[in-house]
Amino acid sequence: MEAIGNTPVVRLKRIFPNAHVVAKLEYMNPGGSIKDRMVRHMLKSMPKGTERVVESSSGNTGAALAMASAIFGLRCDVTVPETTSNEKIKRIGAYGARVHLCSVDSERATELGYHAVAERIAKEDDAFYLDQYCSDLNREAHYTDTGPELWTQLDGEIDVFLCGIGSGGTISGIGRYLKERNPALRVIGVEPLHSSYRKVVTDAPTQGQFGTVIEGVGKLQPSSSFDPSVVDDVLQVSDEQALVWGRRLAREEGILVGGSSGCVAAGIAALLPKLQGMRIATLFPDSGVFYLSKYS
């Protein structure tokens, strides 16, 4: 657990040669994603004597929790949408956790959705439910850990922070910390087309129907972990653009990341003309290794 964090920050010189863009490589956490940090933080509030844990996840939180459960000797159940990549599902199982594949389009709405199934398991089995989508501890993890780490690594030299939005914990926690240090700093979210956060922040109507092949970002319903007060704008990018920029990161920068990192890179590319001369930072939540059979 102590190996979590202190991930490197690298400059993206090849795909953004005429700009100052840096990315924090969160896939270098031991469980393979940024979610290791949040799980470590949330488990601090786990009631003493807990034997079972459960979480609804797009895969990475599940893996982080499964890893921690192996360390602490907990029985772990993870519910994921059925569209989750095979590698992510197998990764959770490899740590000895149980994976429940759930219907995807219902989210919280029906009892078949991955949140509802996790809630049921929590009740029936008396398991500790982390509930990242509704817990203040999610953004708190990034406010107390990821945000200060990024600020220190960059010596405060950052004008704009761009970040993908899933539960909203990362952008809300880091965004709040960075703005407290520098109120002039801009925080911009990036999400797939027709996802729900753009409307929350800008009031722009959502027109098309939501649906994305990118994992980890994009929500049909905004999550209460998202704090719109620290987000200045939300940009939407197509899945195609996200995958194109993800591929460019691998082939031109040697950085093999998941689709949500491609999504944020596509967002940076689209905004660059408006951000001339600014020092831009982002983070790449997970590795492309988890999607090799899905996108290649």
Residues facing residue 163 across a β-bridge:
189
* Residue 146 binds to ligand PMP (criterion: CB under 6 A): no
C-beta of 142 vs 248, nearer to ligand PMP = 142
Give the per-residue contact string, 23-62, with ligand PMP (x = CB under 6 A; - = no).
Answer: ----------x------------------------x-x--
Which stretch in 46-54, 145-153, 166-174, 270-278 sits in contact with ligand PMP by CB under 6 A?
166-174
Provide the H-helix boundaries in the chain.
Answer: 35-43, 60-72, 86-94, 114-125, 136-141, 147-153, 169-181, 197-202, 239-248, 259-271, 292-295
C-beta of 16 vs 143, nearer to ligand PMP = 143
CB-nearest residue to ligand PMP: 216
- Nearest distance, CB of residue 147 and ligand PMP, angstroms: 12
* Residue 168 binds to ligand PMP (criterion: CB under 6 A): yes
* Residue 258 binds to ligand PMP (criterion: CB under 6 A): yes
Judged by CB under 6 A, the residue of 81, 169, 246, 262 near ligand PMP is: 169
* Residue 167 binds to ligand PMP (criterion: CB under 6 A): yes
Phi-psi category of 100—alpha, beta or left, where left has phi over 0 and alpha has psi -120 to 50?
beta
From the CB of residue 102, how many other CB atoms can be counted at a distance below 10 Å? 22
First to last CA, the chain: 32
**CA trace torsion 261, 149, 53, 257 (10° rounding):** 20
| Residues classed as catalytic | 35
Amino acid at 229: S
Can you give the binding site for ligand PMP, defined by CB under 6 A? 33, 58, 60, 164-170, 215-217, 258, 260, 285-286
